[in-house]
Amino acid sequence: MTWWERTALVVFMVLFMECFAWAMHKYVMHGWGWGWHKSHHEPHDNAVEKNDLYAVVFAIVPIALFTVGMWYEPLWWIALGITIYGAIYAFVHDMLVHQRGGFRWVPRHGYFKRLLQAHRLHHAVEGREGTVSHGFLFARSPAVLKEQLRRHAAKRAAGPAVAADRDVMAGTTSRRPVDAEHATS
């Protein structure tokens, strides 16, 4: 492999891992894998949380790829890209955002401040529903994320009766009304 093919593989994998991490965080960790991830959203004084099991599981893939990559070079570079993403993630998420390991820098402006704000807005919601900002290296504007949080909160406050009324008015459902107040004869 040429140096630029190796570099391209590593860079591609770092970018791919951000997409993969976003999907895993949104659909697995805040979905069926909430049992482990919940520990990350609850206050605690422990150095380790159940959520850290995800890092252990995710580390298996690059370890295997490094091993096989000894015989098939592209896999070694793919594993390096995944590992670099893991190191960036550990710095941004664990050290910068959650100040694990005694790291105590709070950015006052720029890219790192935006990442910090986005992840704090992610944690602004109790539970797994209605969260925003599931990525780790690319964050939307805090103003956009706050608006998303407001919309999620409004939907929750409206409840199923208002949603059912909206669907009936729009002609998008044939569901029966939720309660007698919304019933038609």
Mean pLDDT rounded to a whole number for the chain? 87
Number of CB atoms found within 10 A of residue 145's CB:
22
Write down the pLDDT at residue 178.
37
Write down the pLDDT at residue 182.
39
Domain layout of the chain by residue ranges: 3-140
Tokens 């805090």 locate to 142
Q: Taking 90 as the threshold, does the pLDDT of residue 55 lie above it?
A: yes
- d(Cα 29, Cα 159) in Å, to the nearest integer? 25
Kindly state the tokens that stand for 28: 């697995």
- d(Cα 90, Cα 84) in Å, to the nearest integer? 10
pLDDT, average across residues 162-181: 44
- d(Cα 167, Cα 158) in Å, to the nearest integer? 13
Write down the pLDDT at residue 85.
97
Ranking 73-87, 146-160, 163-177 by mean pLDDT, the lowest is 163-177
Write down the pLDDT at residue 34.
96
Q: Taking 70 as the threshold, does the pLDDT of residue 170 lie above it?
A: no
Write down the pLDDT at residue 45.
84
pLDDT-based confidence at 184, cuts 50/70/90? very low
pLDDT, average across residues 160-168: 52
pLDDT, average across residues 48-60: 95
Q: Taking 70 as the threshold, does the pLDDT of residue 121 lie above it?
A: yes
Write down the pLDDT at residue 156.
82
Radius of gyration of the chain (CA): 21
pTM of the model: 0.80
Longest dimension (CA), the chain: 75
Write down the pLDDT at residue 161.
56
Number of CB atoms found within 10 A of residue 98's CB:
16
Q: Taking 50 as the threshold, does the pLDDT of residue 29 lie above it?
A: yes
Q: Taking 80 as the threshold, does the pLDDT of residue 137 lie above it?
A: yes
Kindly state the tokens that stand for 6: 């190796």
Residue ranges in 1-52 assigned as alpha helix (H): 3-23, 34-37
